[in-house]
Amino acid sequence: MRKKNPPLLWKLFSYGLVVLVLLTYVKRSEEQFKRLGGANAKESSNDRIPCVVVKVYDGDTFKCRLKSGEEVKVRLIGVDTPESRKNRKAYRDARRSGMDIEEIIEMGRKASRFTKKLIPPGTTVYLETDVQLHDRYGRLLAYVYLPDGRMLNEVLLEEGYATVYTVPPNVKYAERFRKLQRKAMELGKGLWAE
């Protein structure tokens, strides 16, 4: 029996539905950006959102307070630091790398201390978002700028305390990040000295 093609009207309806879903997603992302302070972020360069650090969890995750008073958990885009405590990811990284779990935890603690020195509680940082605003855990994904204008994500790579972790669609600085990691590896900086 020959399969029938769907009628043209059904195809048009399906395409229209897809377009509607995409437009809704874009509109929702814009609304979330405005809620985070993006509408008032013009005070800082490139629509960066000011945020005061409340707590640093580890080398690539911290909590900060927006102008609205809302506290958000932020995950750095494009970088990954070793785990600073035993959890599933630490064990997975140990199996994958062949390293001892304790070595990974110690490296994670060094990365965490490095980040805590750069952004202690009370520091105002500036957040730049990319295509995707949140990860599957609800954390705000951001490129984070220090008060002196340097990007924290880049500093971690440059000093050897993080590795490149590219997750599309957030790839704005991926090539820059890869170059910084290669250089840190060549120079034996941070964790690459281990």
- Give the model confidence (pLDDT) of 78-100 as tens digits: 999 999 999 998 899 889 888 89
Report H helices in the chain: 8-36, 88-97, 101-118, 152-158, 174-187
106 burial class (0-12, 13-18, 19+ CB within 10 angstroms)? middle
The answer to whether residue 182 is catalytic is no
Q: What b/e string do you get for 85-95 counting C-beta neighbours within 10 Å, with b at 16 or more? A: eeeeebeebbe
Instruction: Look at residue 174 and tell me if it is in a domain.
Output: yes
Alpha-carbon distance of 181 to 188, in angstroms, equals 10
What's the predicted TM-score (pTM) here?
0.76
- Specify the number of domains making up the chain: 1
Instruction: Look at residue 171 and tell me if it is in a domain.
Output: yes
Would you state the pLDDT for residue 191? 85
Instruction: Look at residue 52 and tell me if it is in a domain.
Output: yes
Alpha-carbon distance of 12 to 47, in angstroms, equals 38
Backbone angles phi, psi at 58, to 5 degrees: -160, -165
* Active-site residue (options: 48, 75, 154, 159): 75
Instruction: Look at residue 159 and tell me if it is in a domain.
Output: yes
Would you state the pLDDT for residue 40? 42
* Active-site residue (options: 128, 139, 158, 159): 139
Pull the structure tokens for residue 93: 């990284």
Would you state the pLDDT for residue 43? 40
Instruction: Look at residue 93 and tell me if it is in a domain.
Output: yes
Q: What is the CATH number of the domain that holds 171?
A: 2.40.50.90
The list of the chain residues with pLDDT below 70 reads 1-46, 194
Instruction: Look at residue 2 and tell me if it is in a domain.
Output: no
The answer to whether residue 128 is catalytic is no
Which residues span the domain enclosing 104? 8-193
Backbone angles phi, psi at 78, to 5 degrees: 80, 0
Alpha-carbon distance of 71 to 189, in angstroms, equals 33
Considering only CA atoms, which of 137, 135, 171 is closest in space to residue 153? 171
User: Sign of torsion, CA 58 60 63 65?
Assistant: positive
Would you state the pLDDT for residue 41? 38
Segment 27-38, tens digit of pLDDT: 555 555 555 655
Instruction: Look at residue 3 and tell me if it is in a domain.
Output: no
Instruction: Look at residue 76 and tell me if it is in a domain.
Output: yes
The answer to whether residue 48 is catalytic is no
* Active-site residue (options: 28, 30, 31, 83): 83
Alpha-carbon distance of 159 to 185, in angstroms, equals 9
Alpha-carbon distance of 165 to 173, in angstroms, equals 11
